[in-house]
A and B are shown apart, each in its own frame.
Chain A
Amino acid sequence: MNHAYDVSHLLAGLMLVASFSLLYQDRIFAVLNIFAAQAILLSMAVGWEAWTQQRPHLFITAALALCLKGIIIPVALHKMIVRLGVHRDVEQVVGVGKTLLLGLALTSLSLMLVLKITVAADSFTREGLALALAIILLGMLMMITRRNAVTQIVGFMSLENGLILAATGARGMPLVVEVSVAFSVLIALFVFAVFVFRIRERFDSVDIEALENVRGDTK
């Protein structure tokens, strides 16, 4: 029982570390690699839950996370970036130092909030949930502090990683939901990809800044 506890928190903790390093990476390929690492960690964490909770169907979620988010999506994005020729540094809206401080604040916020509120729940759930919420909030922070369309996509998917971690940590949550989450990620990529290509077509850049000049109403 103790092992189960330690390993699942180790994996969740490592995912959180990955979230932090996503925040300060300034090269786009490094961002993709760390995201892939986070997805692989997620699949390990989900696989571990499947093993310890005796819920074999969770292995499907683990396999989906591994194949789709660990391999297919990073490779596809990598190829796309090479083809679009945008593999330069990633501009940030907020400086690295400030972003990391904000990340720390968000992490402590989620730890204090969840640990305080879930006193009645078992410690498995509550600490897993606290870490998952931190990953979700860091994913959101990444979406806010990046200008580049690709890094916003990665931020969103890292947010989804946190969601899946939370969903599998909630013991006995039905499969329907996990499959749907995995499914929605697939659709999300589809939609995102369409947009990235269209943005490229129109602006010769995947920089969101190019879009911000377009306002239907201000003039």
Chain B
Amino acid sequence: MMTSVALVIGIPFLSAAVLAVVPGYRASAAGNVLAMFATFLAGVSLLFVDAGASSYVIVDDMNILFIILNTLVGLTTSVFSASYIGHEIETGKLTPLFVRFYHAMFLGMMGSMNVALTANNIGLMWVGLEMATLITVVMVGIYRTPSAIEAAWKYFILGSVGISLAFFGTILIYLAGQKALGEGAPAMTWSLLQAAAPQLDASLLNLAFIFLLIGYGTKVGLAPLHAWLPDAHAEGPTPISAVLSGLLLNVALYALLRFKMIVSAHPEAIDPGPVMIVMGLISLIFAAFMLYQRRDIKRLFAYSSIEHMGLITFAFGMGGPLANFAGLLHMAMHSLTKSAIFFAVGHVAQAKGTQRIAGIRGLSVTHPGLAIGLAVGVFAISGLPPFGVFMSEFLIITTTFAREPWLAIFPAFGLLVGFGALLWRLQDLLFGEPTEPAHKVSASSVPLIIHLGLVLIAGIYLPPTLVGWFERAAEMLK
């Protein structure tokens, strides 16, 4: 187990160090893809090792899926990034020096996220998320336009405050575990905390969970702590938007879930469920309405990410095997679909030379390939069958309906509102009089096809092994 985990973390960091000195963007883009491919293989190798936990790392049913998803999306994004960055160099938006920096940072971010995902020590988990956050801040500001700097500044201030609150929550968890587990490392080890959960100090756990919810919730993008998210998505390079939406939000939610498991294992601590239900629903419905006013294509899909993270938080707030199963499935489906949409959007914005929706019309005429990719992605994310997102949303709504019929109205309403907005905007983008300019872009369609293909397959047939994992992870979440 240790070797695989060491590889999953080590490969990105070592390659980042190497790419930091490789001149030439073609070589470094290829190196990026190669490094991510090796990381993906290391991630897959985790399937063949025994689960287990040491004092610093852990591999169990809960995180193995996230690690593989993380490395897979990292790999496909690196392929997309190669063609995207090529175009940015040609148009002079980025200089080769910045691209070298960009590739090193990209790998550093993937490595940090893998640290957070494999950590068994809650301090280490925090370090991983903090590092990934700081790196994305730099990446968001990489174009150095006034709006990029504003977005990065906002992201940095809100992200740091969030992450500081999460750290205070981590200290409180340590204090809660101190009596039962003794001073030192054991009281920061997640697996030991989880095993000893009923003996922890209940009131400290309560306070800790509130801090962690607000802290990591800021990173998840839950309303009203979401203000950084649309700006950061809109102003950074699109590959970064893809990993922000597809991965970083998931990793932050994953960290929150680990703590939820500890808190819900304590009989006297607060029930995290209702708090998460309320925050999830607020984010879902708020974001769904905000979709109607968006004029920037990347902001549109950023709000859609808030909507879906809200839905997922709601599902985990409901709890129970079925809702947890649906929440985990939705996390995977959203991650694949949303990053696929950003792959398409990135090329669309390059082809039209703008991100403003008003400047993008008639894609179906000028760029039929991109139009189809975008349309399929938007159909998938708005929850149309036969895609995987439909299945997970359907599961969330039906299981809620079975248990709390009146509560099911809210997510269903939010999803319908969001559905309308997305299809309305899609129609604007695809049809109508084509707008100028319409550059040719050498889009790499492979990442898009892989992602949407997986989402389609998951919607039609989920392999029993995959279902088994989701079920065991859902079981762990209670």
Contact = CB atoms under 8 A, between A and B. Distances in A.
A203 B146 contact: yes
A170 B207 contact: no
A180 interface: yes
Nearest to A125: B175
A102 interface: no
Contacts of A156: 157, 160-161
Contacts of A129: 175
A164 to B, nearest CB: 10
A143 B235 contact: no
A163 B203 contact: no
Contacts of B174: 170, 173
A59 to B, nearest CB: 18
Contact of B184 (A133, A166, A172): A172
Given A173-B188, A174-B185, A176-B121, A195 B207 contact: no
A210 to B, nearest CB: 9
A195 B152 contact: yes
B146 A214 contact: yes
Nearest to B203: A117
Contacts of B146: 202-203, 211, 214
A214 B150 contact: yes
B201 A184 contact: no
Interface stretch (B41-49, B123-131, B399-407): B123-131
A160 B160 CA distance: 10
Nearest to B121: A176
Interface stretch (B136-144, B417-425, B449-457, B467-475): B136-144
Nearest to A184: B130
A154 interface: no
B171 A166 contact: yes
Interface stretch (B28-36, B272-280, B292-300, B363-371): B292-300
Interface in B108-137: 121, 123-124, 126-127, 130-131, 134, 137
A90 interface: no
A52 to B, nearest CB: 14
B349 interface: no
A199 B157 CA distance: 15
Interface in B135-173: 137-138, 141, 144, 146-147, 149-153, 156-157, 160-161, 164, 167-168, 170-171
* Main SS at interface, chain B: helix
A195 B153 contact: yes
A177 B160 contact: no
B178 interface: yes
A174 B294 CA distance: 46
A44 to B, nearest CB: 20
* Chain B: number of interface residues, binned into ranges: 35 or more
Nearest to A53: B183
A188 interface: yes
Nearest to B208: A117
A180 B296 contact: no
Interface string A125-150: 10001000100100010010000010
A211 B153 contact: yes
Contacts of A198: 141, 144, 149
B225 to A, nearest CB: 13
A108 interface: no
* Chain A: number of interface residues, binned into ranges: 35 or more
A171 B144 CA distance: 44
A216 B183 contact: no
A119 interface: yes
A208 interface: yes
A123 interface: no
For A140, A188, A199, A216, which residue has the most chain B Cβ atoms within 10 angstroms?
A216
A19 to B, nearest CB: 15
A121 B134 contact: no
A167 B175 CA distance: 10
B234 interface: yes
A116 to B, nearest CB: 8
Given A163-B164, A217-B294, A143 B157 contact: yes
A173 B144 CA distance: 40
Nearest to B185: A174
A128 B320 CA distance: 39
A80 B230 CA distance: 31
19 contacts: A113-B207, A120-B201, A125-B175, A170-B178, A172-B183, A173-B123, A174-B121, A176-B124, A180-B130, A181-B167, A191-B134, A191-B137, A195-B156, A202-B144, A211-B149, A214-B150, A216-B147, A216-B234, A217-B295
Interface of A: 113-114, 117-121, 125, 129, 133, 136, 140, 143, 149, 152, 156, 159-160, 163, 166-167, 170-174, 176-177, 180-181, 184, 187-188, 191-192, 194-195, 198-199, 202-203, 208, 211-212, 214-217, 219
Given A177-B188, A195-B156, A202-B146, 17 more contacts: A120-B203, A121-B175, A129-B175, A143-B157, A156-B157, A163-B171, A167-B167, A171-B178, A172-B178, A172-B182, A177-B126, A180-B123, A184-B134, A192-B156, A198-B149, A217-B296, A219-B295
- Leading 7 A-B pairs by shortest Cβ distance: A172-B183, A177-B123, A117-B203, A211-B150, A214-B150, A180-B127, A214-B146
